[in-house]
Homo-oligomer: A and B are copies of this chain.
């Protein structure tokens, strides 16, 4: 199988620390031939640091000069849509950072174009690659959980409004805690259920703390320019009575600063994901099962590999374009409910 030619779009931390190192480690499947950032100095610096032959400040120039099989999009949320469309039109597979887009409409168009072109469009929801999630999917497949009927999913920070970047800018990010954090656990919850579309969605968003200010644990944010939600709560009801309770926060008066977990309730067994514990019955007794030797894995490496496998036609667990569109539509409905 030939080596895929890849380009990186976006010159920030996530390109530098996550995507490029992962791609470099997968040298038998992929070669990074270009990096593109509006700021050419940044692009060049990244290229130099990682030994990438080309640096660009315009994607158009890049597509013209380089023969690419795929691009990795690591730019702010509002650029995901136009850059994905452009890449697909240049016949490139696309590995795009989450969330998929700012609107459901955009995400659907992206998925449709990928399908039409026969290209892979995938989103970087890394938690799918954790040892815990893989074990959950094996337990589900082995029937240990029975029918899954309710999931509680949350990703809560106590004072984790980022003091850097554009995280509190609504136009660029499309939203706050739900868009940045909630989508991670929502993706997992949907995976556990087979990625259905809910019948009903009810939710609320808040910004009391974000707009008031306070102690910052991820740098200090400016309450005066805080435009997004600091917390979002939602309930999703699916066909066959299945339901999800979803909570996400940048700032909330809660116990810990990083509390990210899912509880999956099935008719035969329930699972708390972190640390992975199963609650079930064994030999007629209530049993708690722990897995003390689960490995910590490099989730980015595994997710990048999953994307590359998909590009090469192999089975893959990466988040598909269609799943991304389904998820984006749910996010949009939560925001709509909150504003109603």
Contact = CB atoms under 8 A, between A and B. Distances in A.
B241 A253 contact: no
Nearest to A208: B267
Interface of A: 135, 138-139, 142, 144, 146-147, 149-150, 152, 158-159, 200, 202-206, 208-209, 212, 214-215, 217, 231, 233-235, 237, 241-243, 245, 247, 252-255, 257, 263, 265-270, 272, 277-294, 337-338
Contacts of A269: 253
A253 B270 contact: yes
A243 B294 CA distance: 32
- Copies of this chain in its oligomeric complex: 6
A338 B241 contact: yes
Nearest to A159: B286
A292 B217 CA distance: 11
Nearest to A288: B290
Contacts of A270: 252-254
Contact of A286 (B152, B268, B286, B292): B292
Contacts of A138: 283-284
Given A253-B265, A254-B265, A293-B257, A283 B144 contact: yes
Given A204-B150, A233-B245, A215 B255 contact: no
